[in-house]
């Protein structure tokens, strides 16, 4: 058996503060009720796409089956600042929820048929 010492140096600061994890999302709602969401997060097996779709469905009150996750396109949504597993999926989901919250007031007249509640 070989025995030794191992180290794992980090070249970049690995900070999970808000400044380290920034994310963006683009949410498109179509006339037929389908929703397309694109996120700046990288899907690397952590379930990011599913989590983002579920959060969008919940935030909009839409059926999950109507929500599709689009491709990552940096021309529309900037990359997340880093990819770090669950931290990335949490930030991407929150960015999508914030986008939905901005859209909800604009959708109100369509939900109520133009009548104020």
* Secondary structure string (H, E, C) spanning 34-99: CEEEEECCCCCCCCHHHHHHHHHHHHHCCCHHHEEECCCCCCCCCCCCCCCCHHHHHHHHHHHHHH
Give me the pLDDT at residue 63, please: 96
Residue owning tokens 């109507």: 66
pLDDT the model gives residue 7: 64
The pair phi, psi for residue 88, each rounded to 5°, is: -65, -45
User: Could you tell me if residue 95 is inside a domain?
Assistant: yes
Strands 67-69 and 25-29: unpaired
Is residue 69 included in any domain, yes or no?
yes
Total domain count, the chain: 1
Question: Which pLDDT belongs to residue 8?
Answer: 60
Tell me if 12 is assigned to some domain. Answer: no
Q: Is residue 13, in this structure, part of any structural domain at all?
A: no
Boundaries of domain holding 52: 25-74+82-102
Q: 89 in a domain, yes or no?
A: yes
Q: What is the pLDDT along the chain (117 residues), one digit of tens a residue?
A: 777 776 666 555 555 555 566 788 999 999 899 999 998 888 888 889 999 999 999 999 999 999 999 988 878 887 777 777 677 888 889 999 999 999 999 988 887 766 665
Q: What is the pLDDT of residue 19?
A: 59
Residue 48 inside a domain? The answer is yes
| In-domain check, residue 10 | no
The domain that holds 96 is classified in CATH as 3.30.365.10
Report how far apart, in Å, the C-alpha atoms of 32 and of each of 35, 72, 91, 93 are: 9, 23, 28, 23
């Amino acid at each position: 058996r070989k025995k030794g010492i191992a180290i794992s140096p980090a070249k970049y600061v690995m900070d999970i503060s808000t400044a380290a994890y920034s994310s963006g999302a683009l949410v498109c709602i179509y006339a037929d009720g389908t929703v397309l969401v694109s996120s700046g997060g990288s899907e690397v097996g952590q379930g990011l796409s599913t989590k983002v779709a579920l959060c969008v469905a919940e935030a909009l009150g839409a059926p999950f089956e109507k929500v599709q996750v689009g491709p990552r396109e940096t021309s529309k949504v900037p990359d997340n600042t880093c990819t770090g597993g669950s931290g990335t999926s949490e930030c991407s989901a929150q960015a999508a929820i914030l986008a939905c919250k901005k859209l909800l007031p604009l959708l109100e007249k369509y939900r109520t048929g133009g009548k104020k509640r």
